[in-house]
C-alpha cells in the first residue's frame, strides 16, 4: 500500500536543447518545490536527451493525480529522489519512460538513469506510485493508452539494486483502482474493463506474486455489460466490516446504475451482489435509475448507501414531469446479501437540495414538483382513493429579491445556497395541523439538506 511519500510534479521552462530538438514542456501540476538552483532541471533534461536522441517530445498523463511529463518523488524508506519522465522520439512510433535517480547521500548534484523502457501505446493514461509488493518502497505503475478507445495497457516498474526492472504484464483496463480490497494489508490492483467484442465487462483483481516477481490476476467477476461508461469510481466501507468499490456507470437511455464490488472472504471470490443476469441474458440491477444521484453515506455512519429510485404516487392523469421521485437509501448486508432500508429522500437537483422524509411520513405522503415556481409541495396521500389529501409542506427556492418581498415569517426554516455565483434562499413552510404528521422546527431543519 502507499506509504507516506511525497510526490512532486516538476515544472520546468520550455528549453531548446539542440538545433532540431523539440521544445521540452514539463507540466505544472502539483509543484511542491521549485527545481534547485544547482541544476535539477538541466540534469534531468540532459538525461532525457541522452536517452531519447536529438529530437523528441514530452508526453503528459491524461488521468490520475500526476499529470506532469516529469514527476519527481521521494520513495518511502529511501532518502533519494526519483523522477519518471515520459517522452516520444521522432523516429519511433513507441512511447518511452525513463526512470531517473538522484542519490542525495553520494552526490546531490548528480542524477543517473536507472533504465528506459518503451511501450507501443498511443499516449500516457496515468502514472501511479504505490507499494504493490510490500517492500516498503513505491513501485511505478503506468497506464498506456492504445488505439482502441477505452482500452489501456498496464505496465509496472520496480527499483532493484542500482537499476530499474520492468514487470511484464499482459493486462488491459478501462479504469483501475488500487486499494486493499482483500483485507490482508497489501495493495490490490483492480482493473475495470467495459465490454468489447471478445469479452464481457469485468473486474479483475491482481496481487503481487513473489514467485513470478510481478502482479498476477487472482480473481475476477463479471460486471453489468450494459454499462457504456464508468462515470464515478470510489472506495469505501459498504458494510460495517467490509471495504468495497463503489462503481457508478452510464447505460443507454440516459440511465445510471451502481455496482458494489467487494471480496467475499468466505467464498474467496469477488462479489457484485447488486447485479443479476436472467435466463434470457437480461441484466437486472435494483439501482438502475434516470436520476443523476450517486451512492453516498447518506446518514454519516461511515458506510456507503446505494440509491433505489421510484416514482411517488400521483392521481390518475397527473403529468409525469410533475411527479416527484423518492430515493430509498439502502445499505448492503454482506451476511445475507439483503439491502437494509436506511432513509428516504426527495431530491431537487435543479435547486440543489434534498428532503429527508421523516419516518412517520413514510408510505403516507407524496410530492408534486412545480418547476416553474421552483417549489415542491408535499401532500398526505389517500391510498384508498388514489388522491391528494391535506397539504403538509412546501419547499421553495427564492432569489434574494424574491425573498425580500416574501412573507418570511411563514417559513419555519430558511437555508442559503450558492449556485453559479448567485445566492438563493431555500425556505420550508409547514401547513398541516394534523399532530400525527406535524414536524417541529428541529425536525424540519434536519430534513432539509442543501447539497454540496
Q: Using one digit for the tens of pLDDT, what is the confidence trace for 170-219? A: 999 999 999 999 999 999 999 999 998 888 999 999 999 999 999 999 99
Give the three-state DSSP class for 1.
Answer: coil
pLDDT digits (tens, 9 = 90+) for 76-100: 777 788 999 999 998 778 899 999 9
CA angle 199, 203, 176 (to 5 degrees): 115
Q: Where are the domains of the chain?
A: 1-170, 172-288, 299-452
Q: Please tell me the pTM assigned to this model.
A: 0.86
Cell of 249: 456507470
Average of per-residue pLDDT across 413-420 = 92
Measuring CA to CA, how many Å separate 338 from each of 74, 109, 111, 246?
Answer: 45, 61, 57, 17
At 283, is the pLDDT very low, low, confident or very high (cuts 50, 70, 90)? Answer: confident
Cell of 222: 463479471
Cell of 114: 536507472
| Closest by CA position to 166, among listed 191, 192, 190, 144 | 144
Amino acid at each position: 500500500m502507499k506509504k507516506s511519500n511525497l510526490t512532486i510534479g516538476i515544472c520546468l521552462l520550455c528549453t531548446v536543447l539542440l538545433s532540431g530538438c523539440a521544445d521540452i514542456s514539463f507540466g505544472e501540476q502539483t509543484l511542491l518545490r521549485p527545481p534547485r538552483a544547482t541544476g535539477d532541471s538541466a540534469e534531468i533534461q540532459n538525461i532525457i536527451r541522452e536517452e531519447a536522441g536529438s529530437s523528441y517530445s514530452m508526453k503528459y498523463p491524461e488521468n490520475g493525480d500526476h499529470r506532469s511529463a516529469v514527476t519527481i518523488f521521494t520513495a518511502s524508506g529511501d532518502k533519494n529522489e526519483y523522477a519518471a519522465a515520459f517522452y516520444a522520439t521522432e523516429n519511433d512510433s513507441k512511447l518511452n519512460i525513463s526512470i531517473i535517480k538522484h542519490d542525495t547521500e553520494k552526490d546531490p548534484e548528480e542524477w543517473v538513469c536507472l533504465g528506459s523502457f518503451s511501450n507501443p501505446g498511443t499516449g500516457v493514461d496515468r502514472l501511479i506510485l504505490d507499494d504493490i509488493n510490500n517492500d516498503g518502497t513505491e513501485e511505478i505503475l503506468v497506464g498506456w493508452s492504445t488505439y482502441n478507445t477505452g482500452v489501456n495497457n498496464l505496465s509496472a516498474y520496480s527499483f532493484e539494486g542500482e537499476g530499474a526492472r520492468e514487470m511484464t504484464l499482459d493486462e488491459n483496463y478501462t479504469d483501475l483502482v488500487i486499494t486493499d480490497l482483500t483485507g490482508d494489508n497489501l495493495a490490490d490492483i483492480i482493473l475495470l474493463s467495459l465490454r468489447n467484442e471478445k469479452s464481457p465487462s469485468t473486474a479483475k483483481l491482481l496481487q503481487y506474486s513473489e514467485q513470478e516477481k510481478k502482479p498476477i490476476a487472482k480473481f475476477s467477476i463479471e460486471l453489468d455489460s450494459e454499462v457504456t461508461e464508468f462515470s464515478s469510481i470510489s472506495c469505501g466501507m459498504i458494510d460495517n466490516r467490509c471495504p468495497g468499490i463503489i462503481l457508478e456507470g452510464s447505460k443507454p437511455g440516459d440511465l445510471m446504475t451502481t455496482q458494489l464490488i467487494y471480496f467475499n472472504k468466505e467464498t474467496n471470490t469477488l462479489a457484485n451482489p447488486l447485479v443479476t443476469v436472467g435466463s434470457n441474458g437480461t441484466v437486472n440491477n435494483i439501482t438502475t435509475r434516470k436520476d443523476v444521484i450517486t451512492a453516498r453515506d447518506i446518514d454519516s455512519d461511515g458506510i456507503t448507501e446505494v440509491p433505489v429510485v421510484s416514482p411517488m404516487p400521483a392521481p390518475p392523469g397527473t403529468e409525469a414531469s410533475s411527479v416527484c421521485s423518492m430515493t430509498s437509501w439502502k445499505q448492503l448486508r454482506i451476511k445475507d446479501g439483503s439491502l437494509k432500508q436506511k432513509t428516504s429522500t426527495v431530491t431537487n437537483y435543479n435547486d440543489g437540495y434534498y428532503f429527508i422524509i421523516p419516518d412517520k411520513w413514510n408510505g403516507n405522503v407524496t410530492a408534486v414538483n412545480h418547476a416553474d415556481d421552483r417549489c415542491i409541495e408535499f401532500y398526505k396521500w389517500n391510498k384508498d382513493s388514489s388522491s391528494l389529501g391535506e397539504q403538509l409542506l412546501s419547499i421553495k427556492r427564492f432569489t434574494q429579491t424574491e425573498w425580500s418581498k416574501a412573507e418570511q415569517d411563514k417559513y419555519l426554516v430558511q437555508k442559503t445556497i450558492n449556485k453559479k455565483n448567485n445566492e438563493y434562499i431555500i425556505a420550508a413552510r409547514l401547513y398541516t395541523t394534523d399532530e400525527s404528521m406535524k414536524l417541529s422546527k428541529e425536525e424540519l431543519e434536519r430534513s432539509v439538506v442543501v447539497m454540496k
